[in-house]
Amino acid sequence: MKIDYSIEAPAIEGRLSLSQIEELIAKPLDSKPDKKFLLALSISGSALALGALCVLLTFYYGIGLWGNNQPVGWGFDIVNFVFWVGIGHAGTLISAILFLLRQKWRTGIARFAEAMTIFAVMTAGLFPALHTGRPWLDGYLLPYPNQHNLWVNFTSPLLWDVFAVSTYFTVSLVFWYVGLIPDFASLRDRTTSKIKKVIYSIFSLGWRHSHRNWQHYEKAYMLLAGFATPLVLSVHTIVSFDFAVSIMPGWHATIFPPYFVAGAIFSGFAMVVTVLIFVRKIFDLEHIITVNHLEKMNKVILATGMMVGYAYAMEFFIAWYSGNPIEQFVFINRAFGPYYWAYWIMVSCNVIFPQLFWIRKFRRNIPLMFVISIFVNIGMWFERFVITVTSLHRDFLPSSWGYYTPTLYDIGILIGSFGLFFTLVILFTKALPVVSISEIKAVADGAQPSHHGEGGH
Amino acid sequence: MSEVNYDYKTKELPKSVFTTGIALLIIGTVFGVIGLYLDTQRFLLNYLLAFALLISVGVGALFLVTLEYVAGADWSVPIRRVTEFFSSTVPYLLIIGIPLLFNIGSLFHWSHPEAVAEDKILQSKAPYLNTTFFIIRFFVVGLLWTLFWFLITRNSRKQDITKDQVLTKINIRYSAIFIPVFAITISVASIDWIMSLDPHWFSTIFGVYFFAGTVLASLSAVTYAVVKLFENGYLHPKITKDHLYSLGALLFAFINFWGYIAFSQYMLIWYANLPEETFWYLNRWEGMWIYVSLILIIVHFVVPYSVLLSQPAKMDPKRLKFAALWIIFAHLIDLYWLIMPNYHAENSNPWVYLLEFAFPMAAIGVLCIVFYLSYKKSNLLPLGDPKLERGLKFKL
């Protein structure tokens, strides 16, 4: 295909007028839920219910129901936690970092990706809480002066996680909400329902679309983007510290922080692609979330996938180069030991399949990108499984070596976490505009005076 | 595509750039050779430092050019030639590195068979750390860099005349291939030339650490040159402070990136406290190295971070020029901190330390000469680039 490099590809297609944009985005909020919606909701709701049941049983009997045991004391709980926190990285990356980089194509996908961030971090937050076994005591995770003189362990990266994840969640939520304010105002102005009007009025904080409003808004949005950017990096850096500050071979590697961040962006983008493929189809948003946008996301998937591949290779090389036999054993064991299957699922899903995205035709092929994005999700889940389980199951004492197998409760809770995430996503599509109305209007054709201003003719 | 009349002629660069470069090169080399005569090992390490600086600026600049193609950026198109000029250092690296190849024995502990014979760790590394393979890697890496430099800059210059968009497409392909190649080769180069100076030590992040410094050094060189040319009216009049802002923002981003990577490496090694890793930092915490280590944090992170934080600073030519020069200086200190603690002998002659400026000065001389000569050979504006018009119109 011939591309004209002298012209910038439009951020949205189809030359929609401003009122058409508003109509299109607000439509799902005005219509009653249809059969398809209820079907999707019931599937995700059932998964959620299954998870809730397993969680309740866990509360009742204790975490002995799980597969965690010596020598693998960390199992699905930490794997799922890291997986979901990772999914939560694309949203803020798209909304904050791409905003600072002035990438206009982010507008179509930012809102949805941010929502996914918030839901993913909420899902992730469950696992550490569950793993404590007695979640009603989790209040002690917060350091506060108390009569027992009981303090948290400030030198533990698990505590840093509490701070990092809760800060990240708060800032992401505020960022998302600030972006929603102008849209709440638009919805308030067009709704006919009295109840909705009251709700939208409250959340729109008296927005009047005035110049003054916009000026403040843009300043606040810019500042929040600046705050959110280091947070995106810090959260997964701290998560990587959970492993890397220890002296376990296979966990202690200096490349972990950037490697985890790259992996988080990788998996987050894959999840966003998976979900957006459906969203753009179901809500007729093909002109707003275009194939160009998906192609760009696939490029990010390709790039971050190769970064992850670089980290795998570098870890292996340095394990050999270090001359440390224990380090070498862990990596040989990872690739050719009892968990070889998990390792090769990880490598093929994360490093090999995404290489198809080198070809433009494949990057723009929707069924193919759907399959690859699913593979990446699987691969990234297995990456955390490989890191956690393969490093632990053969520890320093060969007599205590073992093989970790998850129980049905572990699997039930994993399914439940997907149920929770997708239930929230599905409810979100009916409750709020899935695309930012105001931002799409700003990048629509003709919205920018500079297009026709100087030298255009 | 609309035909733009740029009404713009490249002004000739003053001859003084060239003569300054030659002077720096000659003075630096002369004093460096005196240093080599006084203390061979120390000044070989110094020569290596100058070589590493040229790798950073040259290969880093090539990376920046390819990054523009791959990312589809338009703002940097009107100043891309400046980056290309710096990347012209790449082919000379193969020549500049050769004197070091003749002195592998004096630089690298692992190259002594008798040392390897009594050291189990070195024995296990011998398949990688041996003289033959080291020299092969040097030429493979250097030739790969030169090949991509040749292909990409040739197409870019050819486009000035043919105005053919296909050349952009081809260059995007080359660039996309170059970036993974670059990731591997820069890691190999940094492990070979710097990490293996202390052959027992290892760190998986080391390649990324050197990469961060590489991008900073090349970006600073480009920023300094662009601001200089901008102030003296060499650049196209449509290039404004908005373009400078983008350079400032990139510098700021990579200052943070460097800080992040340096912190990650230090933090994890400090916290785990394994003797097989910590000795490398402890070597840099002895005697005067304490001060170098502390100064590095301030010079390489705190100062440039504070200088570039505010938005006006990123577009103010004066401050940008200062920041750019400062970061090149900081990168030199970084390299000094990485390389020089591997010098173990005692030196009674304090004059030797005063001569340490010599080889880095010669390296800066090389950059001036390369810049002048490549400037003469091509347009300052990539006239045939289809994205040029968009790039000139770029506004924040």
From A234's Cα to the closest Cα of chain B, the distance in A is: 9
Chain A hits for B2, Cβ within 8 Å: 6
Please say whether the beta carbons of B144 and B181 come within 8 A: yes
Q: Taking the mean position of all CA atoms in its chain, how far away is CA B121?
A: 31
What pairs with residue A72 in β-bridges? A69
Q: What is the pLDDT at residue A449?
A: 54
Q: What is the pLDDT at residue A455?
A: 41
Tokens read off for A307:
């970064």
Chain B hits for A246, Cβ within 8 Å: 272
Instruction: Give the A window 66-105 contacts with B, CB below 8 Å.
Output: 100, 102
Phi, psi dihedrals of residue A72, rounded to the nearest 5°: -95, 90
pLDDT, one tens digit per residue, over A392-412 is 999 888 899 989 999 999 999
Is the pLDDT assigned to residue A123 strictly greater than 90?
Answer: yes
Q: What is the pLDDT at residue B185?
A: 96
Q: What is the pLDDT at residue B324?
A: 94
> Measured between alpha carbons, how far is B84 from B378 in angstroms, rounded to an integer?
10
Taken in order A311, A317, A322, A325, is the CA torsion positive or negative? positive
Does residue B1 sit within a domain? Answer: no
Q: Do B386 and A245 touch (CB under 8 A)?
A: no
Three-state DSSP at B286 gives: coil
The CATH topology of domain A9-173+233-456 is Formate dehydrogenase/DMSO reductase fold (1.20.1630)
Nearest CB partner across the interface for A8, out of B120, B180, B390: B390
Does residue B171 sit within a domain? Answer: yes
Does residue B121 sit within a domain? Answer: yes
From B31's Cα to the closest Cα of chain A, the distance in A is: 38
What pairs with residue A69 in β-bridges? A72
Tokens read off for A35:
């059969």
Does residue B6 sit within a domain? Answer: no
Chain A hits for B256, Cβ within 8 Å: 230
**Which residue numbers in chain B have pLDDT < 70?**
1-9, 345-350
Fill in the amino acid letter for A187: L
Does residue B2 sit within a domain? Answer: no
Tokens read off for A340:
């070889």
Q: Is A358 an 8 Å CB contact of chain B?
A: yes
- Judged on CB neighbours under 10 Å (0-12, 13-18, 19+), A321 is buried
Q: What is the pLDDT at residue B311?
A: 87
Is the pLDDT assigned to residue A454 strictly greater than 60?
Answer: no
Q: What is the pLDDT at residue B347?
A: 64
Does residue B26 sit within a domain? Answer: yes
Q: What is the pLDDT at residue B8?
A: 65
pLDDT, one tens digit per residue, over A47-94 is 999 999 999 999 899 888 998 888 898 889 999 999 999 998 888 888
Residue A440 vs residue B76, higher pLDDT: B76
Tokens read off for A67:
């597969």
Candidates B268, B311, B385: best to mutate against A (most CBs of A within 10 A) is B268
The proportion of chain A whose per-residue pLDDT surpasses 90, expressed as a percent, equals: 45
Q: What is the pLDDT at residue A419?
A: 95
- Judged on CB neighbours under 10 Å (0-12, 13-18, 19+), A213 is middle
Give me the number of domains chain B comprises.
Answer: 1
> Measured between alpha carbons, how far is B268 from B261 in angstroms, rounded to an integer?
11
Nearest CB partner across the interface for B387, out of A6, A230, A237: A6
Nearest CB partner across the interface for A6, out of B1, B204, B267: B1
Residue A379 vs residue A206, higher pLDDT: A379
Q: Which domain holds residue B299?
A: 11-392
Q: What is the pLDDT at residue B266?
A: 95
By mean pLDDT, which of A18-32, A172-186, B304-318 is the weakest? A18-32
pLDDT, one tens digit per residue, over A149-162 is 888 889 988 889 98
SS3 letters for chain A?
Answer: CCCCCCCCCCCCCCCCCHHHHHHHHHHHHHCCCCHHHHHHHHHHHHHHHHHHHHHHHHHHHCHHHCCCECCECCCHHHHHHHHHHHHCHHHHHHHHHHHHCCCHHHHHHHHHHHHHHHHHHHHHHHHHHHHCCCHHHHHHHCCCCCCCCCCCCCCCHHHHHHHHHHHHHHHHHHHHHHHHHHHHHHHHHHCCCHHHHHHHHHHCCCCCCCHHHHHHHHHHHHHHHHHHHHHHHHHHHHHHHHHHCCCCCCCCCCCHHHHHHHHHHHHHHHHHHHHHHHHHHHCCCCCCCCHHHHHHHHHHHHHHHHHHHHHHHHHHHHHHHCCCHHHHHHHHHHHHCCCHHHHHHHHHHHHHHHHHHHCHHHHCCHHHHHHHHHHHHHHHHHHHHHHHHHHHCCCCCHHHCCCCCCCHHHHHHHHHHHHHHHHHHHHHHHHCCCCCHHHHHHHCCCCCHHHCCCCCC
Task: Tell me the mean pLDDT in the region A108-120.
Answer: 89
From B100's Cα to the closest Cα of chain A, the distance in A is: 23
Q: What is the pLDDT at residue B2?
A: 46
Is the pLDDT assigned to residue A453 strictly greater than 50?
Answer: no
Fill in the amino acid letter for A314: M
* B14-B18-B21-B26 Cα dihedral, nearest 10 degrees: -140
Q: What is the pLDDT at residue A52?
A: 95
Please say whether the beta carbons of B306 and B298 come within 8 A: no
Tokens read off for B88:
């012209």
pLDDT, one tens digit per residue, over A253-273 is 999 999 999 999 999 999 999
Domain residue ranges of chain A, discontinuous segments joined by +: 9-173+233-456
Q: Is A322 an 8 Å CB contact of chain B?
A: yes
Please say whether the beta carbons of A455 and A449 come within 8 A: no
